[in-house]
Structure 1
Amino acid sequence: ILAEPVGSCTDLVATIAIPMMEQLGEKFVHSPYAVVLKPSHGAKILSGEGKRGFSEKAEYIFRKQLEEAELILINRVDELEDSQQESLRRNVEEQYPGRPVLFISAKTGQNVDSLYDALAATSSPRGEFMTVDYDVYAEGEAELGWLNATVALSTETGLPIDSVAMQIVDTVRERLISIDAEPAHLKVLCSGADSVAVANLVSSDTPTMLSVSSGASGKHLSVIVNARVCLDPESLKKTVTDSIADLASKLGVAAEIESMESFRPGRPVPTYRAGN
């Protein structure tokens, strides 16, 4: 399975799936190409209402991904009211007709069996490939700063791992809101005492979620931070660095940033593209 979340790449059928099938033949069979839609941003973009947080060029990528889809998956159905589900379905079906829509929850497993059934089917790739403006694509990708960091936290008394993970995300979230920077995602994995907690944020107007609970405490914690934000890399780096320092001071712990890289993605240049 080749999987890629909405908002980070598009044109996968023409640049990966079809070239692999052409060069490797029967070793690969084309199943329906499914695209996962994140409701927090998707609802804003599709409805055209409210503050969406991203530019038209970034939204161009999002829309191209839905255009390319042969099956559209709307995740986090467990968090959506019936009216929200109906609105999303209506907007998707009106703007991207002919594509089945399936609501799923990766968290609870709702409708995952139906997804397996859909992916187990075989289908023929479309005879025509969508047009992609790679200049707009590159500019849209470059608007998001990427950050990866590892941090070591230590204290003489035990720290509740779940709380630390949540507080890191909350602290970064507050700083991003203060500078009007929209996160595409913010993920924190906090480990210690042979246990792991994961906290994440999917948009500025949603609360921090504890997706994996450790239920444990530890004196020495290892933290991994992964972020994609509509912000330049240096500002993103400063935001995360200052957030770690603030939280360390608040908790009275020692914090050491072991590694941190922040950058913009390079221009997408496919080696192969069917139809060219």
Structure 2
Amino acid sequence: MTRMKLLLVGGFLASGKTTAIYSAAKLLKASGRKAGILTNDQGKQQVDTGFIRGKGFPNEEVAGSCFCCNFNAMSGGIQRLHEDIQPDIIFAESVGSCADLAATIINPLLTLQPDRYNIVLSVFADIRLLVAFLKNEQPVFHENVSYIYQKQLDEADIIVANKIDLLSVPELDHAKAVISDAFPDKIILYQNSLSEKGIQHWLDACENFHNATLRPALNIDYDKYGAGEAELAWLDEEVGIVSEDKNAVKAALLLADTVYNKIKAGNYPIGHLKFLLDNGRSQTKISFSPFGDTNSMEQHTMEESAKAVLLVNARVQTAPQVLQDIITEAIVETENTTASKITEYTTTAFQPGYPRPTYRIIA
């Protein structure tokens, strides 16, 4: 019996997981192979899900909880993808604040369905944040959040130091020395997920990784883990934009920039800040990292429109009400600046609950 190839993709918020999965799915499709994609978030309105589905890739979603706390929904999503399209590879992207994946996802899958899966856990990290973390430079996040970050790296089968295109050659050489010294026994890839060569290297590494045994479980303090997740406010909001001057796309981009600038002005550390912009004819995803750079391969070619819809996913170290107030203020300012009308359709703002995995199997 051929084992199902499951690429479990972990790593902290804004590390480039979705970009890598999308790039890999495109590359596989071009070579005649099929990929299924399972997305996951604590919220129920996912930018990443909308983006993946908008690109036409088979997708299942686990919303409103992490994989580990809703294992049956996760395994059910994997099964549906397998039955519907018989994919060559399934990508399962976990919540960016989730850890302990070996004991709560990999080991239960291998135990409940032995001989079914070949699982690889790739943990992505923005190489700039990773180097700053390893050098104990000025901390970006609260110590409990940093605890989650460390635990994610500890259990990786493969560490993907991502976004190397944002470093100079000397900076990259220095980063490689720091990272390899910190993880001498790990498989480490240095990757630009917008590069076909980099993505192919990752796929090859995953294809060549074989470990059908149960993984060692982390020694993890769940109280500290839960406290780390609770440091982050999660906000999901969908807004509609109407512009009599047919500048709704421009207004949406200004709103996204205004939200980002207000968060930075308040010195609130950003986990991730993502927007999905839809002008009725096409979509584009816009992401802001903790370092202030943006990632959108398509926003500059999007046609203007009289109407647009903007979905916001914000994961920020602050209180939910503070984040909600920032969004509201940004909407008012954007309306006044662009003479557009912005309507808030749906809004949820919360802090994740205490992690209570369905299973935790220790090898």
TM-score between both structures, scaled by the size of structure 1? 0.92
CA pair 92-124 structure 1, distance change in 2 beyond 3 A: farther
Q: C-alpha distance in 2, partners of 1:82/1:166? A: 32
CA pair 221-160 structure 1, distance change in 2 beyond 3 A: closer
Aligned residues of 1:145 and 1:232 also touching (Cα < 8 A) = yes
Aligned residues of 2:8 and 2:119 also touching (Cα < 8 A) = no
Specify the alignment match of 2:284 in structure 1.
197
Specify the alignment match of 1:11 in structure 2.
100
Shift of 1:206: 2.1
Q: C-alpha distance in 2, partners of 1:160/1:79? A: 31
Specify the alignment match of 1:36 in structure 2.
124
Q: C-alpha distance in 2, partners of 1:110/1:242? A: 43
Q: C-alpha distance in 2, partners of 1:209/1:28? A: 33
Specify the alignment match of 1:175 in structure 2.
262
For structure 1, which segment, 144-153 or 241-250, has the greater mean C-alpha deviation from structure 2 after superposition? Answer: 241-250
Specify the alignment match of 2:114 in structure 1.
25
**% of aligned pairs identical?**
26
1:227 pairs, out of 305, 314, 321, with: 314
Aligned residues of 2:248 and 2:307 also touching (Cα < 8 A) = no
1:218 pairs, out of 297, 301, 305, with: 305
CA pair 160-215 structure 1, distance change in 2 beyond 3 A: farther
TM-superposition CA deviations, 1:33-78 (whole Å, max 9, x none): 211011342232122123x321111001001111111211011122
Shift of 1:16: 0.6
Q: C-alpha distance in 2, partners of 1:40/1:26? A: 38
Point out 4+ residue stretches in structure 1 off by more than 4 angstroms: 124-127
Specify the alignment match of 1:2 in structure 2.
8
Q: C-alpha distance in 2, partners of 1:178/1:257? A: 23
Can you give the 5+ residue segments of structure 1 that lack an aligned partner in the other structure? none
Can you give the 5+ residue segments of structure 2 that lack an aligned partner in the other structure? 1-6, 13-95
Code of the aligned partner of 1:28: Y
Q: Secondary structure at the match of 2:247?
A: strand
Equivalent positions of 1:44-193 (< 5 A) are 44-50=132-138, 52-121=139-208, 122-125=210-213, 128-159=216-247, 161=249, 163-193=250-280
1:208 counterpart = 2:214:
no
TM-score between both structures, scaled by the size of structure 2? 0.71
Aligned residues of 1:145 and 1:264 also touching (Cα < 8 A) = yes
Shift of 1:209: 3.4
Aligned residues of 1:43 and 1:88 also touching (Cα < 8 A) = yes
Q: Secondary structure at the match of 1:2?
A: strand
CA pair 166-5 structure 1, distance change in 2 beyond 3 A: farther
Aligned residues of 1:143 and 1:230 also touching (Cα < 8 A) = yes
Code of the aligned partner of 2:296: L
Specify the alignment match of 1:241 in structure 2.
328
Code of the aligned partner of 2:133: I
Q: Secondary structure at the match of 1:267?
A: coil
For structure 1, which segment, 20-29 or 140-149, has the greater mean C-alpha deviation from structure 2 after superposition? Answer: 20-29
Q: Secondary structure at the match of 1:113?
A: helix
Aligned residues of 1:188 and 1:223 also touching (Cα < 8 A) = yes
TM-superposition CA deviations, 1:203-248 (whole Å, max 9, x none): 1x42333333243000011110011000111111111111122112
Aligned residues of 1:158 and 1:218 also touching (Cα < 8 A) = yes
Q: Secondary structure at the match of 1:158?
A: coil
Code of the aligned partner of 2:224: V
Shift of 1:188: 1.1
Q: Secondary structure at the match of 2:8?
A: coil
Code of the aligned partner of 2:288: L
Q: C-alpha distance in 2, partners of 1:211/1:5? A: 22
1:261 counterpart = 2:360:
no
Shift of 1:260: 0.7
CA pair 127-151 structure 1, distance change in 2 beyond 3 A: closer
Shift of 1:126: 6.3
Code of the aligned partner of 1:139: A
CA pair 167-39 structure 1, distance change in 2 beyond 3 A: farther
Shift of 1:178: 1.9
Shift of 1:270: 1.2
CA pair 44-169 structure 1, distance change in 2 beyond 3 A: farther
Shift of 1:160: 6.1
Q: CA RMSD in A?
A: 1.8
Q: C-alpha distance in 2, partners of 1:83/1:259? A: 46
Aligned residues of 2:241 and 2:248 also touching (Cα < 8 A) = no
